[in-house]
Copies of this chain bind each other. A is one copy, B any other.
Amino acid sequence: MFQLYHFPLDPMSRAVRLALAEYELDFELVEERVWERRHEFLALNPAGSVPVLIDEDQEGLLTICGSSVIAEYIRERYRTELEGKLLFPDNVEERAEMRRLVEWFDRKFQDEVTFNIVHQKVDRQFMAKDAGGGPPDMTVVHAGLHNLRYHLKYIEHLMGARNWLTGEDLTHADLAAAAHLSVVDYLGHVPWEEFPEAKTWYARLKSRRSFRALLSDQVARVIPAAHYTDLDF
């Protein structure tokens, strides 16, 4: 049994939820508002960020911090149980390609798109004014929306030659990318009609069973876009 400290609209938390659901591993969600900087949570992860996975099967409640670290940990610890459904490619070159793409989304997309849009439109609604809270700075949001088109084009470029982002099979790269996009989509900001190949790729992911819990997320103060749960968007 796992516990996952997460925030519903945090993309890195969402990537882990998708992975655990793909693996059909049971887990319990604990919502953490990282900006409150709870003492007990900082003791689990001094970086103060989600996701944090607690593996209760291990002696002494093992704590694993960060989406990539969690992905590598689950592969190494449960590779026998998960044989045949691992979200890592089988060969070394493709694993390098997968990790490159995970970093692409968790660093580059995060810095250029997610942070600009989600920090402004979600996090700042919850944060105290003296901690940087307040209404969104729309100049920053628009910069994020501008950058988003470049990333959607890159997804289209990859999908022009591949079945999933890394190659033949679904991997953590797809989950990382979809997790980021799902948060921007919750806010209604993805121009899907301009990027039909990216839309087809995302629709395939969105209709998977692992995606269901994400689509039923509701966050107080933040209303999802009308098409957010629609599988034929």
User: Which residues from chain A sit less than 8 Å from chain B, CB to CB?
Assistant: 46-47, 58, 62, 64-66, 68-69, 72-73, 76-77, 92-93, 95-96, 99-100, 103-104, 107-108, 154
Contact = CB atoms under 8 A, between A and B. Distances in A.
Given A93-B62, A100-B65, A100-B69, A47 B108 contact: yes
Contacts of A103: 47, 65-66, 68-69
Contacts of A65: 100, 103
A160 to B, nearest CB: 14
A217 B77 CA distance: 41
Contacts of A76: 92, 95
A64 B68 CA distance: 17
Contacts of A99: 66, 68-69, 72
A58 B92 CA distance: 12
| Chief secondary structure at chain A's binding surface | helix
Nearest to A107: B107
A69 B104 CA distance: 11
Contacts of A92: 73, 76-77
Given A64-B96, A65-B103, 10 more contacts: A46-B154, A47-B104, A47-B108, A58-B93, A62-B93, A65-B100, A66-B103, A69-B99, A72-B72, A76-B95
Contacts of A104: 47
